[in-house]
Amino acid sequence: MTSHSLKILPLGGLGEIGLNMMVLECEGECLIIDCGLMFPDTQSLGVDVVIPDYKSILQKNIKAIVITHGHEDHIGALPFFLQDVQKPIPIYAPRFARELILQKLKGAHDKHVKVKTVKDGDKVDVGVFEVEFVETVHSIIDSMALFIKTPVGHIFHTGDFKFDPYKKKHKEKIKKIGKQGIHLLFADSTNVEREGASLSEEEIKKNFDKIIAKEKGRVFISSFASNLRRISYLLDLAKKHKRRVFLDGRSMLSNTQIARELGILKSTDIITDNPQEDNLIFIITGSQAEPYASLTRLAYRSHAHIKLKEGDLVILSSRFIPGNERAIHKLLNHVCEQGARVLYGDISDIHTSGHAHRKELKLLHKMIKPRFFIPVHGEYRHLTMHQALAKEVNPRVHSVIAQDGDVIEASKNSLKKIDHIEVSHVFVDSIAGDDLENTILKERRNLSEKGIIFVVVIRNEKTGEVIEGPHLYAKGFLSQKKHEELFEEAKKVAFKYLKQEKSIEELQEEIRIGVRRFFKSRELKRPLVLPIILDI
Amino acid sequence: MTSHSLKILPLGGLGEIGLNMMVLECEGECLIIDCGLMFPDTQSLGVDVVIPDYKSILQKNIKAIVITHGHEDHIGALPFFLQDVQKPIPIYAPRFARELILQKLKGAHDKHVKVKTVKDGDKVDVGVFEVEFVETVHSIIDSMALFIKTPVGHIFHTGDFKFDPYKKKHKEKIKKIGKQGIHLLFADSTNVEREGASLSEEEIKKNFDKIIAKEKGRVFISSFASNLRRISYLLDLAKKHKRRVFLDGRSMLSNTQIARELGILKSTDIITDNPQEDNLIFIITGSQAEPYASLTRLAYRSHAHIKLKEGDLVILSSRFIPGNERAIHKLLNHVCEQGARVLYGDISDIHTSGHAHRKELKLLHKMIKPRFFIPVHGEYRHLTMHQALAKEVNPRVHSVIAQDGDVIEASKNSLKKIDHIEVSHVFVDSIAGDDLENTILKERRNLSEKGIIFVVVIRNEKTGEVIEGPHLYAKGFLSQKKHEELFEEAKKVAFKYLKQEKSIEELQEEIRIGVRRFFKSRELKRPLVLPIILDI
């Protein structure tokens, strides 16, 4: 009997929170789990999104893509991947994720992409794999874990998950799966830094009930538009307290529209225009101070129809995604300046995470008792902490810390890294539709910190004599008007190099280095310098 | 009897956390409280520090500057202010703050600046003001609150403070002051978002005791170098556990040197070179992932003498200052990649804030029972929340939310805003020694998001005929090699404008707008465009 082996290739999501994409390969057939994007650090450098570097798998025999849930970091790269892979691949996704995917693909080139709906308990054959979808609790409805039967053994992939004491059946199901014997576990590491357990959505609901009961004036609740469960009970609470609701923000409107079409949201007291009543409940976008979102416009007084005023209460029913703290703080300040009061995670329990905390993760490991373990969905420190937690619960588990591009081989008796493929983060300027090269990004970063000086020299083609220049033009560096003498000296520095008998390229390079060195010698920052010598 | 009045002019610290500077003016005489700087959001735009806009007070009759403590946001702008005010002003500062100020002024122009040391209980006459210094607990030693007697009534200014259950005498002193009747209270709003009370430094010490007892290997503790109290007991704990200590990082070494000179630190088991022992305790800089700090070098493997390894424990004994989260996360990931373990605020009580939480603030207001109240040291939302908290405790207090530039008048029976002076944040490129104009910053921001294109055209001076060009040179925009056709089209667009009989300036402006519009029409971002027409 040949010994089976399975290769595991994470392309994203191990080493960063975002761009989740994992490839399982067995007997020449590939199964892809999720295909997401990430919003980059480099937002300020004009980069819009980051997607996984999947070029190494484009030629492989991909039997299917399975999607665990509809968050952007699990589906956002699909349009790009499907365009690049240039062959039809079956996609299996739970209901709400499927709607969001189809929305993304509208207007895209592949009109013949088929996305099949899966629900809790559905099993699909994907080549040598059998994938069973297992509903879990997360911050978006229709979230799935995956119970995958492979020639090597059973795999359980949690997707993004948490436990909710009010939703016992999910926990029971996972317990049953654990009893079947799990060879290899992939589990969500996002909140491994957090002690205890995440709050139940029911607790949040109770808090909102109290808040809405107490508030006589308007209440603005910003939430992730994908958190339909929360939006749904907020609508119920509004109805209970005889308050009408106004929804605002592009993704809020489109997501709730999808939810209504799927029969998930039933509430009728949503008004769609002229939000003038004094005790309305507003459910809006902008919890991350996104540039054109509803709450951001309200904070910056640029909303076309609504103005904040004293007596209003603004609630951020969300967490502060790392990197957005300062933008959200500014937003909160501007809201307070208009006389409204604010409530947010720091000062009130009006949000709970969609990811398991340590206590929940320990329970997971206790129930699953896997032989092998690969932590996923986290930055490096999360992965190492999760590895340590796993060992606390199951001292005999063997785990491997993988990073994007590592090739891990799983067999009946081992789990080890056997190879590494160089992968990078692929930056997409979604306007240019282009990959932004690292050079362009590096140029922008330097430009942003130091500015640029353009040096123009015109020479007589025949004699090499300088006709015009060097002329210096600075942007984002120092004011030339204020520093005339300095720039005159810099011109002389550049001029000196021109006396040499060298090629244009060599002279340009020497001027570039020389001018930079000159400014550095004056205790200034070294700007980008772009010399151009034109012979006419 | 003339009725007295006092004017209050905050120049910084009300509306942002940083650049604290407040002016009290009575009967033509001014007292300045603190003179600090702020590290800007715009760090990435090459701006180094932000200082208050104090130009409106440079000509006033300033009797003294009193300093509450030695943090940068209270003393960092002094060198700039003293240089600009160009007259000698007495400065009163507590011991450690004074040393840090003198260190800053070394090599500065004003060698004759006198900084007088004040300690707990000292009273100084500053014109019509009598200022008594009251020692408080903060995250730097020698921190003072101010009890100021004025013709209008008693003022109490908390400085930056917290209560520590192990340091009862500070609380008792403030209680006594409250009994004297406080007309106007200024209080620290930084942590008004946080429930409960801040941990005592004694609790942190106990935790460190346990940690160091348990760790057999090396322990790296990064802390703010100004937190001498913590550094002092860490040295004691190291001694207790028979571990030698290695200090690393410029400010760590200079601050502990000052502390030794002042007799504050006595410990002798600090080694200064060759840190090779296997169970050393390292006390280092880098808790905010500052670019050249010790821990940052260790994380990025660029430290000249020390390498992290498996078995090491790295502790961030500090908070994550908003804005630094992502840099610190990256640092933690890189530390984990080298096999070390990490401990930080999220997962362990190894730091406590220097600012009072809500419970402590309520206690303050209960003890002081001021008639009037102005919240300070916070962003707008902190100030409004603190106002609400004050009213909870003392329903009859009258408070005013002031922002930088507001002129507040205090009299025996009223407190109100009477004027506003336009003040801005003054950005200083500490290398250029220059104020960076908003234009330069704006240029850098645009450069960073969209890049720049230089358009060079050379014409025959006499005939106006185009000899060379238009040539386009792009930086940080798109790769010209990859988009040759696009740039050729852009050249044609620029060329069209040259046929007109207009001045060089007009033509350059039209080319600038036209080229930008061209790229926009291709669904691309609009870069900066700098056209240069040279007639030779």
Q: Which residues of A touch B44 (CB under 8 A)?
A: 44, 445, 448-449
The model carries a pTM of: 0.84
Is this complex's ipTM strictly greater than 0.85? no
pLDDT tens for B27-56 read 999 999 999 999 876 555 666 789 999 999
Find all residues with CB under 8 Å of B9, minimum gap 6, and list them. Answer: B22, B23, B24, B25, B56, B57, B405, B406, B407, B408, B421
Give the three-class secondary structure for A276: coil
Q: Report chain A's mean pLDDT, rounded to a whole number.
A: 91
Q: Report chain B's mean pLDDT, rounded to a whole number.
A: 91
Q: How far is CA B453 from CA A3, A115, A511, B446, B527, in A?
A: 60, 44, 20, 12, 7
Q: What is the pLDDT of residue B109?
A: 58
Structure tokens at A408: 């891990």
pLDDT tens for A46-60 read 667 899 999 999 999
pLDDT tens for B466-503 read 988 899 999 888 888 878 899 999 999 999 998 888 88
With 60 as the cut, is the pLDDT of residue B450 above it?
A: yes
Q: First vs last Cα of chain B: how many Å apart?
A: 79
Q: What is the pLDDT of residue B442?
A: 76
A215 or B322: which leads in pLDDT: A215
Q: What is the pLDDT of residue A477?
A: 87
Report the share of chain A in percent with pLDDT over 90.
72
Asked if A329 lies within 8 A of B347 by C-beta distance, the reply is: no
A245-248: strand order across its sheet: A270-271, A245-248, A281-284, A219-223, A313-317, A341-344
Q: What is the pLDDT of residue A263?
A: 87
Q: Among residues A377, A353, A378, A356, which one has the least CA distance to residue A367?
A: A356
Q: How far apart are CA B320 and CA B286, in angstroms?
A: 11
Which one of B323, B388, B431 has the shortest CB-CB distance to A326?
Answer: B323
State the best of A45, A379, A447 to mutate against chain B, taking most chain B CBs within 10 Å. Answer: A447
Which of B 426-485 lie inside 8 A of A, CB atoms? 429, 431-432, 434, 437, 439-440, 443-452, 454, 456, 458, 467-469, 471, 473, 475-479
Q: Which amino acid is at A119?
A: K
Find all residues with CB under 8 Å of A25, minimum gap 6, and list them. Answer: A6, A7, A8, A9, A31, A60
Report the share of chain B in percent with pLDDT over 90.
72
Task: Compute the C-alpha angle B399/B402/B406, nearest 5°.
Answer: 135
Structure tokens at B379: 């962003």
Say if CB A494 and CB A507 are below 8 A apart.
no
d(CA B96, nearest CA chain A) in Å = 30
Q: What is the pLDDT of residue B86?
A: 84
Asked if B525 lies within 8 A of A346 by C-beta distance, the reply is: no
With 70 as the cut, is the pLDDT of residue B182 above it?
A: yes
Q: How far apart are CA B171 and CA B345, in angstroms?
A: 27
Q: Which residues of A touch B310 (CB under 8 A)?
A: none
Task: Compute the C-alpha angle A310/A315/A316, nearest 5°.
Answer: 135
Report the share of chain A in percent with pLDDT over 70.
94
B270-271: strand order across its sheet: B270-271, B245-248, B281-284, B219-223, B313-317, B341-344
pLDDT tens for A321-378 read 888 888 899 999 999 999 999 999 866 789 999 999 999 999 999 999 999 999 999 9
Q: Among residues A302, A228, A215, which one has the least CA distance to residue A263?
A: A228
Q: How far apart are CA A406 and CA B291, in angstroms?
A: 30
With 70 as the cut, is the pLDDT of residue A109 above it?
A: no
Structure tokens at B150: 């004025």
Least confident of A98-102, A279-283, B174-178, B432-436: B432-436
d(CA A109, nearest CA chain B) in Å = 18
Size of interface A-B (CB pairs under 8 A): 187
Find all residues with CB under 8 Å of B377, minimum gap 6, and list them. Answer: B13, B14, B17, B20, B160, B188, B189, B190, B355
Q: What is the pLDDT of residue B47?
A: 66
Give the three-class secondary structure for A93: strand
Q: What is the pLDDT of residue A46?
A: 63
State the best of B475, B481, B483, B534 to mutate against chain A, taking most chain A CBs within 10 Å. Answer: B475
With 70 as the cut, is the pLDDT of residue A41 above it?
A: no
Q: What is the pLDDT of residue B396?
A: 97
Q: CA torsion A199→A201→A204→A209, rounded to 10°?
A: -150
Q: How far apart are CA A87 and CA A30, in angstroms?
A: 14
Q: What is the pLDDT of residue A106?
A: 80
Average pLDDT over residues B146-175: 96
Q: What is the pLDDT of residue A67?
A: 98
B143-150: strand order across its sheet: B123-126, B129-136, B143-150, B153-157, B184-188, B372-376, B398-399
With 70 as the cut, is the pLDDT of residue A435 above it?
A: no
Which of A 281-340 lie inside 8 A of B, CB atoms? 322-323, 325-326, 329, 332-337
Q: How far apart are CA A99 and CA A102, in angstroms?
A: 5
Which one of B44, B454, B456 has the shortest CB-CB distance to A449?
Answer: B44
pLDDT tens for A122-136 read 999 999 999 999 999
Q: Among residues B311, B316, B276, which one has the least CA distance to residue B296?
A: B316
A29-33: strand order across its sheet: A115-118, A91-94, A62-66, A29-33, A21-26, A5-12, A406-411, A415-420
- Of the pLDDT bands very low, low, confident and very high (cuts 50, 70, 90), residue A431 is very low
Residue A346 contacts B, CB cutoff 8 Å: yes
Burial class (CB in 10 A: 0-12, 13-18, 19+), B218: buried
With 60 as the cut, is the pLDDT of residue A2 above it?
A: no
Q: What is the pLDDT of residue B215?
A: 95
pLDDT tens for B69-126 read 999 999 999 999 998 998 899 999 999 999 999 988 886 655 668 899 999 999 999 9
Q: What is the pLDDT of residue A432?
A: 46
Q: What is the pLDDT of residue B432?
A: 46
Q: What is the pLDDT of residue A111?
A: 62
Which one of B46, B443, B469 has the shortest CB-CB distance to A525?
Answer: B46
Q: At what angle do helices A358-368 and A380-393 cross, to 10 degrees?
A: 50
Say if CB B442 and CB B42 are below 8 A apart.
no
Give the three-class secondary structure for A492: helix
Q: What is the pLDDT of residue A1?
A: 42
Find all residues with CB under 8 Å of B466, minimum gap 6, and list them. Answer: B457, B458, B459, B460, B495, B498
Q: Which amino acid is at A142?
A: D
d(CA A403, nearest CA chain B) in Å = 10
pLDDT tens for B351-383 read 999 999 999 999 999 999 999 999 999 999 999
Say if CB A190 and CB A198 are below 8 A apart.
no
Cβ-based neighbour number of residue B415 at 10 Å: 21
- Of the pLDDT bands very low, low, confident and very high (cuts 50, 70, 90), residue A493 is very high
Average pLDDT over residues A138-162: 97
Report the share of chain B in percent with pLDDT over 70.
94
Q: CA torsion B119→B121→B122→B124, rounded to 10°?
A: 130
With 90 as the cut, is the pLDDT of residue B21 above it?
A: yes
Q: What is the pLDDT of residue A270?
A: 78
Least confident of A160-164, A425-429, B105-109, B471-475: B105-109
Q: How far apart are CA A410 and CA A372, in angstroms?
A: 9
Read off the DSSP letter of residue B521: H
Q: First vs last Cα of chain A: how many Å apart?
A: 78
Which one of A434, A440, A456 has the shortest CB-CB distance to B532?
Answer: A456
Q: What is the pLDDT of residue A480?
A: 84
With 90 as the cut, is the pLDDT of residue A275 above it?
A: no
Find all residues with CB under 8 Å of A478, minimum gap 6, and list them. Answer: A451, A486, A524, B432, B434, B440
Q: How far apart are CA A320 and CA A324, in angstroms?
A: 6
Q: What is the pLDDT of residue B511?
A: 93
Helix H or strand E encompassing A236? helix A228-240
Q: What is the pLDDT of residue A463?
A: 87
